[in-house]
Chain A
Amino acid sequence: MRGHRDLRLLLALTVVCAIGSLITPLGAVRVIFAVPLTLIFPGYAIAAAAFASRPLAWPERIPLTLGISLACLALSSLVLNYTPGGIRGLPWVLILVLVVFFCCRSAATHRGRSSRRGRTDRQEADPLPKLGKPRPVTAILAAVALAMVAAALVLAQATFDNNNAAGYTQLWVSPPKPTDTFAQIGVTSEQQQTRGYRLVVEVEGEDSPLVQTFELEPSQTHLTKVNSDSESPVGVEAKLYLRSNPTKVYRRVSTQLNPAGASVR
C-alpha cells in the first residue's frame, strides 16, 4: 500500500479503533472507537476499492461512506448469524477489520494499475473543498453551539417534579410457579406523597384474616409472604384500603396456593 496515504491511514485507524473498542473498559469511551469502525471505515474502504481506478468526487463520498457502511453492517450481521460465535463483539471486529483490509488492498492494487495506465489520483480525484483555518470567533461560536446541544441533551435526560402526574398504588401477588407453596403479596406506592394503607389478606379455610397497616413513601414497597399448609389448593384474596377511606376497597388481587399447608406470617 506504499504511496496510498489515505489507505494506510484508514488501515491504521481501523486497527486502533478495533483494539480500542475491544479493550477500553468504559462503554462511553468505546463509542469513540466503535462509531468510526462501524459507520465510516467499512463504507470508505469499500468505496475506495470500487472506485480504485476512477477516484470519487467529494460530494458522492459522503453518502457512499455512510450508506455502504450501513449496508455492510446489515449484510455482515447475516454472515455472522451463521458463524459459530454468532453476533458478538469479537466477530464483529474481525469481520470489519477484514472488510477494511481486503478493500484497502484491492484499492491499492487497482490504483497502482491505473497509475501505470497513466491515470493518477491527483489527475482525476475531485478533492474535498479546503476548509480554512477557523477564526477565533468561529471557534467560539462552534464551542457555544456544542455546549448548547450538550445542555439540550442533558435536559432531555433529566427527570423533573411533576405535581400534575396522577399517582397510584400497585397491589400485586407474584405469579405462582407450580412448585411454589407460598405467595408473595406486594404493595408498591407510586404516589406523589406518603400514604397510609391497610392490607387485609384472607386465606381460604383460615378463620381470621391477616390485617396489616403501614405507611409507604413514594416508590417504597411493602412485602407480605403467605404460606400454605393445606393438602389441597387454597385461594388467597388480598384487599388494600387507603387509610383515608377505610371502608372502600382500593385494590384487590387474588391467587391460589399449592398444597403444602396454609399459614400466614
Chain B
Amino acid sequence: MASNRVALIILACAAGILVCSIANALSRAGEDPTPLLYWVGVLVIVLPIFYRLTSEEASPGERLALVCLLGLSLYGVKLVRDAPIFTFADEFLHGYNSNQVSQYHHLFHDNPILETSKYYPGLEGATSALRTLTGLSGYTAGAIVIGAARLLAMSAMFVLFWRVSDSARIAGLGTAIFTGNFNFLFWSAQFSYQSMALPMLLLILLAVVELEIAPRAARGAWRALAALTIAAVVVTHHITSYAVAATLIVLSALTAWVERVRKPAGPWRLALLALVLTTIWLIFIASSTVEYISPTVSNAIESSFHTAAGEAPTRDLFQGATSNIQPTPTPARAVALLAVLMLIAGLPFGLLTVWRRYRKQPVALLFGLAAIAFFGALALRLTPAAWETGNRASEFLFIGLAFVIGCVGLERWRPASARWAGRVLAATALTIIVIGGAISGWPWDSQLAHAVRTHSEEGPTISSPPLAMAEWAQDHRAEGKIGALVATSRLLLDPGDRRVYSDFTANLVEIIPDDSLLSWQRELLQEKNIRFVVVDRREVGGDGIRGFFFTEQGTSTDGWLPRSSVTKFETFPGATRIYDSGSIVIYDLEPGRDGEPEKR
C-alpha cells in the first residue's frame, strides 16, 4: 500500500513536470498559454507531497524520499523551461568558464565579464569531470551536477532538521517549506557557483550537529568531512564561504552561551578553519572579490539609509522592468503577499516551539535568529540598490525560517468536527508559500520559456537576433575584444566563445546607450582595447532575463535606443559598421588591427 502511494505521488510529480513542459512548449510556440496551466503543473507536483508530509504515519524514509522527489521535480520545472541552452544570465558566465576548462584543460582562465568567477572554480572543476569523461555539453553536464547538488540540499536539510528536532515530521515539513524561498525554483537552480555551494553549506551544518550528538569515536570522522567540505566551499563560492565562516562563528558563540562557558565552544575549530581558509583564498587567490562585492554592499547600505530616511523612493514591487512588460497581475501579487503574510503569521508560533523545545540546542537557536533576520532582509527588497543583497541573504536566512515554520504544528490541529482540517490547512499553506515564493522570485512574464530558436513558416530553423549574432561572431572570429550590453554579452560568451566586456569590468552598459560619444568614453574604449562594439537597440538589450529571445511581431519599438546611440560610433576615427540585423549593430573600431593575442 505504501509503495503504491509513493508511486502515485511520483506519478503526480511526473504529470506536473509534463504539464509544465507543455506550458513552456506552447509559450515557445508563441501560443501564449494561460499561466494557470503552468501553475497547475507546479500544484500537481507539490500538493500531494505536502499533504503526505503532514501525516503522522509516514516513515522517516518515506519523508526523505518525498522531499528529495520534491526538490528534483521542481528542478525538472526549471529544466523544461530551458531552451535547452543556458538562458539564465549567470549560467553563461559559468558555462564560459566550463568551456575554457574543457578547451585548455586548466582552471583559472580569464572570464572577461566577471573576473572574480575564475577564482572560484569548484563548480566548473566538478563539471569538468563529467564533461571530459563523457563529452557532454556544458549545459547537460552542468544540469547533472546541479541536479546532484539539489538532491544533496534536500537530503542534507532533511537529516539536519531531523537531528535537530528529533522529529522526522518537522524535518519533512521544514525541508518542504524551504522550497518556498524566492530563489528556489529558478535562480538557485541555475548553473552557477552558489547552486553547488549552498547545498554543501547544509552538509557542513549537518556535520556540526552530528559532532554534538555522535559517539566520541565518530566525531573525528565528522570533523574531517566537515573540513573537507569547508575547503570545497572556499574554492567554489565567495559569499557562501563567508556565510559558512559567519555561521560557524555564531554557532560557537551560541554554544558558549547555552553551555554558560567562557572558553571556545562548539564548532570553534571548524569556524577557525573556515575563517583561515576563506581569508587565505581571498588574499592570495581571489583578491579581486573585494572590488567586486564591496560596491554592491556599500551601495546597499547607503541606499537603505536613504530610503529609510525618506530621501529616496522605495522600489516598486511586481512592476515590469520596461514599458512593454506588464506588471504581475493582481491575483498573483495577492498569492505572493499572502505567502509572506503566512510566514509572518507562523513565525511567533514557530519561535515559541523552538524556544520551548530546543533552546538548549545552539543550531535551533541559530535557526530562530535567521528566521527573524529573514524579515529584515525582506525589507531590503524595498530599496532599489539593496534588493539584490537582500535577495542573496534571504536564501541563506530562509534555511532557519524553514525550520521555525516547520515547528508551527498546524498539521496537528484536529478539531472534533473536522479532524482533517489541520492537515488540509497546513498542506494548503505550504502550497501557497511555495507558489507565492516562486512568483516573488522571478518576473511574472518570464516564468515560462520564450523562443530562442523556432521553425520559420517555411520550415528551416531561425535563431533569435542576439543568438544569431553570437553564432555569427563565433563563425567569423577576429582577434580583439568586444564590448556589449548584458544580453548580447552573455551569448557572446557562450555559445559565442568570445572575449566580451560588459557590466562588471567596463562601463559599457553606460557608454553604449548614450546618444553621443564623450571623450572619456572614447578613452575608456581605447584603454580597455575594445575593438568591436555591439549595440543592441532593443529595450531588453540590457536585460539579463528577457534579452535572449525573439521579439514578438508587432512589439512596439518606442523603447528602443535612439538611432544616435548606434551612429555615434561612426564618429570614432576609422570605425566601420560590420554587422546589421536591424536591432543589433556591430562596429569595428579598429578595422585591420592585428589585435592582441587572446589572453586565456
Does residue B145 face the partner (Cβ distance < 8 Å to A)? Answer: yes
- Looking at A2-10, A44-52, A202-210, the stretch in contact with chain B turns out to be A44-52
A30 on the interface (CB 8 Å rule)?
A: yes
**Which residue in chain A gives the minimum CB-CB distance to B461?**
A159
Whether, in the assembled complex, B169 has its beta carbon less than 8 Å from a beta carbon of chain A, the answer is: no
Residues from chain A with Cβ under 8 Å of B7 in the complex: 134, 137-138, 141-142, 145
Q: Does B455 contact A (CB under 8 A)?
A: yes
- Decide if A170 touches B579 in the complex (CB within 8 Å): yes
Tally chain B residues at the interface, Cβ within 8 Å.
125
Task: Check if B591 sits within 8 Å of A63, measured CB to CB.
Answer: no
Query: A127 CA to B144 CA in the complex, in Å?
Result: 28
A194 close to chain B: CB less than 8 A = yes
A162 to B152, CA, bound (A): 38
Partner of A219, one of B18, B123, B132, B456: B456
A13 to B376, CA, bound (A): 50
Q: How far is the CB of A174 from chain B (nearest CB, A)?
A: 5
Residue of A nearest to B11 (CB): A145
- Is A67 located at the chain interface by the 8 A CB criterion? yes
Contact partners of A115 in chain B: CB under 8 A: none
Tell me if A30 and B591 are in contact (CB < 8 A): no
Q: In the complex, which of the residues A22, A157, A163, A191 contacts B30, with contact meaning CB atoms closer than 8 Å? A: A163
Query: Does B396 interact with chain A (Cβ within 8 Å)?
Result: no
Can you list, as one digit per residue, whether each of B1-22 has a CB less than 8 Å from chain A (1) or not (0)? 0011001101101110110111
With CB as the reference atom, state the residue of chain B lying closest to A164: B30
A89 to B30 alpha-carbon distance, docked (Å): 42
Contact between A70 and B84 (Cβ–Cβ < 8 Å)?
A: no
State whether A218 and B133 are in contact (beta carbons under 8 Å apart), knowing that A70-B126, A144-B11 are contacts in the complex. no
Q: How far is the CB of A186 from chain B (nearest CB, A)?
A: 9
What is the minimal beta-carbon distance from B196 to any residue of chain A, in angstroms? Answer: 6
Q: How far, in Å, is B107 (CB) from chain A's closest CB?
A: 5
For residue A227, CB closer than 8 A to chain B, the reply is: no
Inter-chain contacts of B399 with A (CB < 8 A): none
Contact mask for chain A residues 46-65; partner B; CB cutoff 8 A; 1 contact, 0 none:
11001101100011101110
Which chain B residue has the least Cβ–Cβ distance from A49? B221
Q: Which residue of chain B has its CB nearest to the CB of A22? A: B133
> 1/0 per position for A227-265, CB-CB distance to B under 8 A?
000000101000000000000001111111010000000
User: Is B591 in contact with A176, judged by CB distance below 8 angstroms?
Assistant: yes
B66 at interface, CB cutoff 8 A: no
Q: Which residues of B contact A64 (CB under 8 A)?
A: 203, 225
Residue A122 at the chain B interface, CB threshold 8 Å: no
**Would you call A196 an interface residue if the criterion is a C-beta within 8 Å of the partner chain's C-beta atoms?**
no
> Is B224 an interface residue when CB atoms closer than 8 A count as contact?
yes
Q: How far is the CA of A144 from the CA of B7 in the complex (A)?
A: 10
Complex contact A219–B460 (CB within 8 A)? yes
A54 and B454 contact, CB distance less than 8 A: no
Besides the contacts A54-B214, A156-B24, A160-B29, what 20 more A-B pairs have beta carbons closer than 8 Å? A30-B135, A35-B130, A39-B144, A50-B224, A54-B215, A59-B60, A60-B210, A67-B229, A71-B200, A134-B7, A155-B22, A156-B25, A160-B451, A163-B457, A170-B581, A174-B476, A174-B478, A178-B593, A218-B458, A233-B592
Residues of A within 8 A of B (CB): 21-22, 27-28, 30-31, 33-35, 37-39, 46-47, 50-51, 53-54, 58-60, 62-64, 66-78, 81, 85-89, 92-93, 96, 129, 131-132, 134-135, 137-138, 141-142, 144-146, 148-149, 151-153, 155-178, 180, 188, 190-194, 217-220, 233, 235, 250-256, 258
Q: What would be 20 A-B contacts, judged by CB atoms less than 8 Å apart?
A: A50-B225, A54-B221, A58-B61, A66-B152, A74-B122, A92-B132, A138-B4, A138-B7, A149-B18, A161-B455, A163-B553, A165-B553, A166-B551, A166-B553, A168-B581, A174-B478, A175-B532, A176-B591, A190-B465, A253-B580
